[in-house]
Amino acid sequence: MRKHIVAGNWKMNNNHSETHQLLSDLKQQTKSSNAEVMVAPTYVNLQYAVSELGGTDIEVIAQNMHFADNGAYTGEVSANMLNSIGVKTVILGHSERRAYFNETDESLAKKVDQTLANGLRSIFCFGEELADRKAGNQEAVVESQIKNALFHLEASAWQHIVLAYEPVWAIGTGETATPEQAQDMHAFIRKTLRDKYGDEVAENTTILYGGSVKPNNAKEIFGKPDVDGGLIGGASLKAEDFFAIVNAF
């Protein structure tokens, strides 16, 4: 059976003392669902978070990484560096990185390859913009993002890939896809996987929804059969809200 996951993307928020506070608050929370829980602090606080959350069942994950092994890439961080501090999962292709840092399907394909070469798992993000949805092109956009970045992979690699459907128009806007819109797209994504790789990959791949998930809407969204969890931005910055979402399963 595929895993349920709730991952918090802290983005460029929380200095060191704020990180300390949020980690302490998270440790006070009680999990009453079967979801795997992850949080993605900024790089400067990553190692600290790994040590603070050691012994809990909250996994610390990264928000991004470079596609090269190492070398002259000022400001970048490699898969090997993440691995060496105990970070085993990395978010790739978030729409903010695609929009502000020119990430493309091609560079993301290289990043995915790099995660696999280093034994990391990726949470691969994609999703259409508002104009795509208004034009009825959302499925074509999503299909091409998945195909271009991921369809060179062998079936066996998919055990290391989590998908995160994040319609750009719903991220940080307070506007959520309806549970039906999320379900329709997740079912389409699963069909796309089935057509290429067959039932096993399609049924075992976890597909998260992201876009203004909050404590008051999580249960309805997670209630849909093809929605296996969430990638949470704003609501992951408050431990109580985040765990209300975790426990919505």
Catalytic residues: 94, 166
d(CA 88, CA 113): 14
- 19 vs 212 by CB, closer to ligand PEP: 212
* Residue 19 Cβ vs ligand PEP, minimum distance, rounded to whole Å: 18
Residue 229 or 234 having the CB closest to ligand PEP: 234
Nearest approach in angstroms of CB 237 to ligand PEP is 9
Which residues, numbered 201-220, are part of the site for ligand PEP (CB under 6 A)?
Answer: 210-213
Residue showing the smallest CB distance to ligand PEP in the complex: 233
Say whether residue 41 binds ligand PEP (CB under 6 A): no
Query: Which single residue is written with the structure tokens 């998945």?
Result: 146
Candidate residues 60, 234, 243, 248; the one interacting with ligand PEP per rule CB under 6 A: 234
C-alpha distances (whole Å) from 240 to each of 22, 225, 243 are: 10, 25, 5
Based on the shown chain and the rule CB under 6 A, indicate whether residue 172 belongs to the binding site for ligand PEP.
yes
Using CA atoms, how far apart are residues 16 and 72, in angstroms rounded to an integer?
Answer: 28
Helices (H), 35-177: 46-52, 79-84, 95-100, 105-117, 130-134, 138-150
Q: Is 229 in the site for ligand PEP (CB under 6 A)?
A: no
Name the 3-class secondary structure at 93: coil
Give the residue with the Cβ less far from ligand PEP, 73 or 101. Answer: 101
Choose the binding region for ligand PEP from 51-59, 70-78, 135-143, 227-235 (rule: CB under 6 A): 227-235
Residues making contact with ligand PEP (CB under 6 A): 9, 166, 171-172, 210-213, 231-235
